[in-house]
Chains A and B, each alone.
Chain A
Amino acid sequence: MPRTPIEVPHKIEYLSILNEKGEVDTKLEPKIEPKQLKEMYRWMLLARRVDERLLKLQRQGRIGTFPQATGHEAISLGSIVNLKPSDWHVPAYRELAGFLYRGWPLESILIYWMGYEEGAQPPEGTNDLPIAVPVSSQLLHAAGLGMANNLQGDKNVVVTYFGDGGSSEGDCHEAMNFAAVFDAPVVFVCLNNQFAISVPIAKQMKNKTIAQRAIAYGMDGIRVDGNDVLAMYVATKEAVEKARRGEGPTLIEALTYRYTPHTTADDPSRYRNEDVSKEWAAKEPLIRFEKYLKAKKVMTDAEKQTMEEEIEARINEAITNAEEATKHPPLSDPLVMFDYLYKDMPDYLSLQRDELAKALGISEADDSKKNEASTAKRGG
């Protein structure tokens, strides 16, 4: 009956490959084709410019409140590029780069923030879940997708995202434990931007890193410089390959800083020292990636300029398309709120639909949906 120490496996690494000056650790540097490197930059730049434009649209009242993703492009993009189309993307709400990369039309993203459910409809052919607003709830779905993959004998991988604040939810704990117990091929990416709205990470938890929780679940954990797209790429690549080999989940803590207010409704000067925010500005992911690409002669100034122009044109086009779409069905039709609740509409719901149509003065002849066959696709 002695009192003896139990050896618990513990080792948490920190990975950084490309520092804020744009210097690269050549021993750790991944071998990525120049063409793909440039593509990665382009997706990140697109996400950045979209985010900036969304902010303008929000200020003009053309979209609603939304959480910005500026500064978080490396986390989302550096991880997502390791997925095959048949793999699963289970985002939280700051994975703008990942959404775009996975083929969500920019129009969908705009339409979501304009306040329409249609913006949450994953494009055909993708294995993507929509934005998850209730924090960490999505992690259990990711674990379940991974468990199903195993039960079906498939070789797909799930990548899912959550925040440092979200790491406190019971759902987060349950998801990681399930994934570990069932060797589910899930990569949990924690976007640690050090704030949950106003609550700093030091008030969120006593542990030094989020990554170390992996040890308790019996999975691998690593902390990565979340502003370093190469480190994100390498860490996720390893985790994805491991998961695909059937060796279970990994927790990647991507350390960054919340560069923006929590959402457009937030005022961070109330609760944090914005001088610190300024210090972080130089560490953001695009500047260093651009330096790296230029040093490697992968991208020229002229090429970047062309990229910028193409992106701006695409954003302008998408805004026009999205705003035009709101003027026509289905977006202009409030009655669609009833149409996707069940595969087949229950009678009592159908009566409520009629009641609203009457209240809105929509006659049966004008009711586009009513005239369609009742077998019309209802999310089936």
Chain B
Amino acid sequence: MAEMNMAKAINLAMHEAMERDKRVLVMGEDVGPDEGVFRITEGLHAKFGDKRVIDTPLAEAGIVGTAIGMAIYGLRPIAEIQFSGFEYYAYHQIEMHAGRFRNRTRGRLSCPMVIRCPSGGGIRAIEHHSESREAIYAHSPGLKVVMPSGPRNARALLHAAIQDPDPVIYYEPKALYRLFKEDVPETVETLPIGRAQVVQEGKDVTIVAYGAMVRPAIDAAEILEEEDGIRPEIIDLLTIAPMDTETIVNSVKKTGRVIIVHEGPRTCGIGSEVVARINEFALMYLEAPIRRVTGYDVPIPYFAREKAYLPDADKVVSAVREVLSFN
């Protein structure tokens, strides 16, 4: 066991994966001697050299497009996009090619690759550096989308993503990089992609969250337990696509009341899909309308106003109270 923050845990996973598997390489803007703008690729260039830790020209379509070529060739690229707000430049490569090669070639070719990308707000960054757009990728067939919420699951999910036979968008909630530490075991762990985790069992209401929003969900649960004497069940999605319907549905069957929390805009956000799944599989168990505590349908404001935009424990608490008071 070693205590580490999420930045270190993601870095550790890359060190381990590159040691184990010669096909794994890292590429992106400033990932080499600079070790990434968030230092997530620390020590990799020094250890593995120019051939496996590649500083690319400044071009996101170039990074993802060439990573696709490398993946088809048999390598296992981990492509870093510096901020999720710049991933749009690569979107056509991700959507039209990474997500489709297997399908288009009837399984003959595939793109086993990982696109790592810091996502979300909360670090007083400049314009275009705080976006949460996981829903775009979840909406795109052929992609898997994962988002860790702490150091231990970050490392395990990254290993799973690297080993996965299909392209995985690995979104890193950058507000969590150095926010807290956790024990991470010596031996390499993986977490199954496509499975959510119940991080706290409860019976009164279900709070579904992921990434940086798991924290405010937990904080809200503490307030609710103390002030209202109720115990929420908290689900951490971990994988956004393909979504773990079963874990959500089982919880809804127990609690009958649901809150969904995410940073990204509300309309057609991940919460919309959670609501749809509940409608499909557990509608009759619902005892109250579902509430979404999310970013609003505006671009995340520049940092002076981002706090007002982002979901927090207080907003979750009010939503839970509203849902609980519905009869």
- A contact residues vs B (CB 8 Å cutoff): 64-66, 112, 114-117, 120, 131, 133-135, 165-166, 168-171, 196-199, 203-205, 265-266, 270-271, 326, 331, 334, 336-338, 341, 348-349, 352-353, 356, 359-360
CB within 8 A of B30: which of A115, A198, A360? Answer: A198
Please report the number of residue pairs spanning A and B whose Cβ atoms sit closer than 8 angstroms.
Answer: 112
CB distance from B267 to the nearest CB of A (A): 7
Per-residue contact bits, chain B 302-327, to A (CB 8 Å; 1 contact, 0 not): 11111011000011001000000000
Are B297 and A64 touching (Cβ within 8 A)? no
Per-residue contact bits, chain B 287-306, to A (CB 8 Å; 1 contact, 0 not): 00000000011110111111
Are B303 and A170 touching (Cβ within 8 A)? no
Query: Cβ of B89 < 8 Å from any Cβ of A?
Result: yes
Are B318 and A359 touching (Cβ within 8 A)? yes
Are B128 and A115 touching (Cβ within 8 A)? no
Are A196 and B124 touching (Cβ within 8 A)? no
- The residue in B297, B302, B303, B315 that gathers the most chain A C-beta atoms within 10 A of its C-beta is B302
Interface hits, B117-166 → A, CB 8 Å: 124-129
Are A196 and B58 touching (Cβ within 8 A)? yes
Query: Cβ of B185 < 8 Å from any Cβ of A?
Result: no
The CA-CA distance from A266 to B267 in the complex, in Å, is 36
Query: Cβ of B77 < 8 Å from any Cβ of A?
Result: no
A205: chain B residues within 8 A (beta carbon): 57
Are A170 and B59 touching (Cβ within 8 A)? yes
Are A134 and B85 touching (Cβ within 8 A)? yes
The CA-CA distance from A352 to B304 in the complex, in Å, is 19
Are A65 and B301 touching (Cβ within 8 A)? no
The CA-CA distance from A265 to B124 in the complex, in Å, is 12
- The residue in B29, B34, B299 that gathers the most chain A C-beta atoms within 10 A of its C-beta is B34
A116: chain B residues within 8 A (beta carbon): 302, 304-305
The CA-CA distance from A64 to B130 in the complex, in Å, is 14
Contact size class for B?
35 or more
- The residue in A112, A270, A334, A337 that gathers the most chain B C-beta atoms within 10 A of its C-beta is A337
CB distance from B7 to the nearest CB of A (A): 14
Are A115 and B304 touching (Cβ within 8 A)? yes
Q: Please, could you name 27 A-B residue pairs with CB atoms under 8 Å apart, sorted by A? A: A65-B125, A66-B126, A114-B304, A115-B302, A115-B306, A116-B304, A116-B305, A133-B127, A134-B89, A135-B58, A166-B58, A168-B59, A169-B58, A170-B61, A197-B34, A198-B30, A198-B33, A198-B34, A199-B30, A204-B57, A205-B57, A326-B304, A334-B308, A336-B305, A337-B305, A337-B309, A360-B308
CB within 8 A of B297: which of A134, A199, A271, A348? Answer: A348
A341: chain B residues within 8 A (beta carbon): 297-299
A204: chain B residues within 8 A (beta carbon): 57-58
The CA-CA distance from A265 to B37 in the complex, in Å, is 8
Q: Which 5 A-B pairs have the closest CB atoms?
A: A115-B304, A198-B34, A334-B308, A168-B57, A115-B303
CB distance from B133 to the nearest CB of A (A): 13
Q: What DSSP secondary structure best describes chain B's contact surface? A: loop
Are A356 and B296 touching (Cβ within 8 A)? yes
B296: chain A residues within 8 A (beta carbon): 337-338, 349, 352-353, 356
The CA-CA distance from A135 to B33 in the complex, in Å, is 22
Are B62 and A168 touching (Cβ within 8 A)? yes
Chain A residue with Cβ nearest B58: A165
Query: Cβ of B86 < 8 Å from any Cβ of A?
Result: yes
Query: Cβ of B172 < 8 Å from any Cβ of A?
Result: no
Are B266 and A133 touching (Cβ within 8 A)? no
A336: chain B residues within 8 A (beta carbon): 305
CB within 8 A of A337: which of B127, B301, B314? Answer: B301
A338: chain B residues within 8 A (beta carbon): 296, 298
Are B303 and A198 touching (Cβ within 8 A)? no
Query: Cβ of B32 < 8 Å from any Cβ of A?
Result: yes
The CA-CA distance from A199 to B89 in the complex, in Å, is 19
Query: Cβ of B55 < 8 Å from any Cβ of A?
Result: yes
Are A64 and B55 touching (Cβ within 8 A)? no
B37: chain A residues within 8 A (beta carbon): 197, 265-266
A326: chain B residues within 8 A (beta carbon): 304
CB within 8 A of A271: which of B33, B59, B86, B303? Answer: B33
Chain B residue with Cβ nearest A168: B57
The CA-CA distance from A359 to B129 in the complex, in Å, is 25
The CA-CA distance from A172 to B48 in the complex, in Å, is 32
Query: Cβ of B204 < 8 Å from any Cβ of A?
Result: no
The CA-CA distance from A120 to B301 in the complex, in Å, is 12
Are A197 and B301 touching (Cβ within 8 A)? no
Are B29 and A199 touching (Cβ within 8 A)? yes
CB distance from A77 to the nearest CB of B (A): 24
CB distance from B193 to the nearest CB of A (A): 30
The CA-CA distance from A118 to B175 in the complex, in Å, is 25
Chain A residue with Cβ nearest B37: A197
The CA-CA distance from A337 to B307 in the complex, in Å, is 12
CB within 8 A of B55: which of A203, A337, A356? Answer: A203
B315: chain A residues within 8 A (beta carbon): 359
CB within 8 A of A199: which of B58, B128, B318? Answer: B58
Q: Known contacts A198-B30, A203-B55, A348-B267; is A133 also within 8 Å of B126 by CB?
A: yes
Interface hits, B23-71 → A, CB 8 Å: 29-30, 32-35, 37, 55, 57-62
Are A352 and B266 touching (Cβ within 8 A)? yes
